[in-house]
C-alpha cells in the first residue's frame, strides 16, 4: 500500500538513493518516501555481470528513470536489465513499469498471479497497464541470471495474496518484498497465512534480508522471529482485553482497538489501518474457535473511523462474542 510524500518521515534515517550492497546486489530507492513507504520503495538490481534483473520498479516518480539509468552506468558501461520481477500487487512496487519498459521494451516482466477474489487482486487487474505482458511466476521457480547468480521465487502470501520473495542462493540472502520490512511492521491480509509464510521464510535460514522498504536487515532470522512473536503477542493482548471485561459479552474490532490504546494514544488517533489489523486478528481467533461471529454487524462503524475498500470494512463491522475457556490459552 502506498501513501507517499516528498519528505522523509522525521523518525527515519535517510538512505542513499543508490548504493552497492554486495558483489551481486545494488539498491535504488523509488524516490517515494512516506508513512507507509518509509524511505521509499527499495528496488534492487541483481547480477554478477552486465545482465541484471530488477526487483520492483517504484511507483512511477519521474526522477526514478534517470536515477536508474545513472545507476546502471555506475555498475558497468554495458549493464542492462533483462527482466523485471514484481514482488506483489501494491502500486508502489510496480507503478513505474511503463517507464522502465520505455527504457527497453524487450525487458521481460514477471509476477505471481494476483487472486482476483481479493480486493488488492481486483484493484491490480483494474489498474495494471493492459498492454504490458506479465509472465506468471510460480512457487519455487528458478531464475538463472548468470553463472554466479541464481534467484528462486517463493510465494509468501499474507501481506497480499500474491506476495513473492526471492532467494539469492549464492549469498543466502532473501529479497522479502513487504513480507518483512527493515523498520517497523507491515500490514497483512490474513494473519494465519502470514504467520505461516514467515515461518517458511525463517526455515530458509537467511543470512541477510533485503526488505521492500527500509534498511538492510543483517539479523534476518531475528527480524523474522520478531514479526512472528509480534503477531502472537497481539493475539494474546486481544484475548486479555476480552477476559478483563467479563461484563461485556460482545466486541467489535474498533472497541478492542480503543481498549488496547487506552492511556497510550488518543481515541481520535485511531485510523482504519489500526482497526483493520485487529479485525483480522479477531477473524483468526474466530477461525481458531476462541471467538464466535454473531449474525449482526456494527452499523455505527462509519461514524468512528474513515473507511476505504482496502480496510476490509466487512471484517471490521463483525460483532464477536467470546466462547469461554480462554484463560487456558494465555
Domain identity same for 200 and 302: no
Q: Which strands sit side by side in the sheet containing 25-29, from one edge to the other? A: 18-20, 25-29, 42-46, 51-55, 80-86, 108-111, 134-136
**What is the predicted pLDDT for the residue at 121?**
74
The gap between the terminal CA atoms of the chain, to the nearest Å, is: 33
pLDDT exceeds 70 at position 223: yes
Provide the residue range defining the domain that includes 273: 234-329
pLDDT exceeds 90 at position 233: yes
Which one has a higher pLDDT value, 296 or 240? 240
What b-and-e string marks burial along 277-286, b requiring 16 or more CB atoms within 10 Å of the CB?
bbbbbbbbbb
Which of 190, 218, 246 is the last residue before a domain boundary?
218
Rounded to the nearest integer, the mean pLDDT of the chain is 90
Which one has a higher pLDDT value, 327 or 304? 304
**What is the predicted pLDDT for the residue at 303?**
61
Model pLDDT for residues 11-59, shown as the tens digit of each residue: 889 999 999 999 999 999 999 999 889 999 999 999 999 999 999 999 9
pLDDT exceeds 60 at position 6: no
Domain identity same for 247 and 212: no
* Cα–Cα distance, 254 to 317 (Å, whole number): 9
**What is the predicted pLDDT for the residue at 140?**
98
**What is the predicted pLDDT for the residue at 327?**
47
In this structure, what CATH number is given to the domain that contains residue 127? 3.60.15.10
Q: What is the mean pLDDT of residues 280-286?
A: 95
Which of 157, 186, 218 is the last residue before a domain boundary?
218
In this structure, what CATH number is given to the domain that contains residue 246? 1.10.10.10
Read off the pLDDT band of 317 (50, 70, 90). Answer: confident
**What is the predicted pLDDT for the residue at 302?**
59
Please report, for residues 233, 245, 272, 282, 304, the alpha-carbon distance to residue 309 in angstroms, rounded to integers and kept in the order given: 27, 31, 10, 19, 16
Which of 193, 218, 243 is the last residue before a domain boundary?
218
Amino acid at each position: 500500500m502506498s501513501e507517499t510524500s516528498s519528505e522523509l518521515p522525521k523518525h527515519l534515517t535517510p538512505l542513499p538513493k543508490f548504493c552497492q550492497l554486495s558483489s551481486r546486489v545494488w539498491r535504488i530507492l523509488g524516490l517515494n518516501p512516506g508513512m507507509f513507504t518509509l524511505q521509499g520503495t527499495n528496488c534492487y538490481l541483481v547480477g554478477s555481470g552486465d545482465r541484471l534483473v530488477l526487483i520492483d520498479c517504484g511507483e512511477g516518480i519521474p526522477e526514478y528513470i534517470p536515477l536508474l539509468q545513472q545507476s546502471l552506468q555506475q555498475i558497468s558501461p554495458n549493464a542492462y536489465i533483462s527482466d523485471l520481477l514484481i514482488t506483489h500487487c501494491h502500486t508502489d512496487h510496480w507503478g513505474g513499469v511503463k517507464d522502465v519498459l520505455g527504457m527497453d521494451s524487450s525487458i521481460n516482466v514477471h509476477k505471481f498471479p494476483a487472486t482476483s477474489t481479493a480486493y488488492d487482486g481486483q484493484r491490480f487487474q483494474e489498474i495494471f497497464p493492459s498492454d504490458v505482458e506479465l509472465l506468471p511466476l510460480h512457487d519455487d521457480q528458478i531464475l538463472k541470471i548468470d553463472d554466479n547468480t541464481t534467484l528462486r521465487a517463493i510465494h509468501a502470501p499474507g501481506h497480499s495474496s500474491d506476495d513473492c520473495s526471492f532467494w539469492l542462493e549464492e549469498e543466502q540472502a532473501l529479497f522479502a518484498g513487504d513480507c518483512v520490512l527493515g523498520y517497523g511492521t507491515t500490514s497483512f491480509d490474513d494473519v494465519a497465512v502470514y504467520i505461516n509464510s514467515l515461518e517458511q521464510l525463517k526455515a530458509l535460514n537467511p543470512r541477510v534480508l533485503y526488505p521492500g522498504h527500509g534498511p538492510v536487515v543483517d539479523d534476518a532470522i531475528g527480524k523474522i522471529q520478531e514479526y512472528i512473536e509480534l503477531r502472537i503477542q497481539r493475539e494474546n493482548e486481544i484475548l486479555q482485553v476480552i477476559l478483563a471485561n467479563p461484563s461485556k459479552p460482545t466486541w467489535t474490532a474498533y472497541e478492542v482497538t480503543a481498549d488496547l490504546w487506552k492511556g497510550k494514544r488518543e481515541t481520535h488517533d485511531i485510523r482504519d489501518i489500526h482497526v483493520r489489523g485487529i479485525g483480522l486478528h479477531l477473524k483468526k481467533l474466530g477461525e481458531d474457535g476462541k471467538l464466535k461471529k454473531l449474525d449482526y454487524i456494527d452499523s455505527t462503524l462509519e461514524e468512528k473511523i474513515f473507511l476505504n475498500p482496502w480496510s476490509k470494512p466487512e471484517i471490521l463491522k463483525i460483532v464477536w462474542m467470546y466462547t469461554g475457556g480462554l484463560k487456558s490459552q494465555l
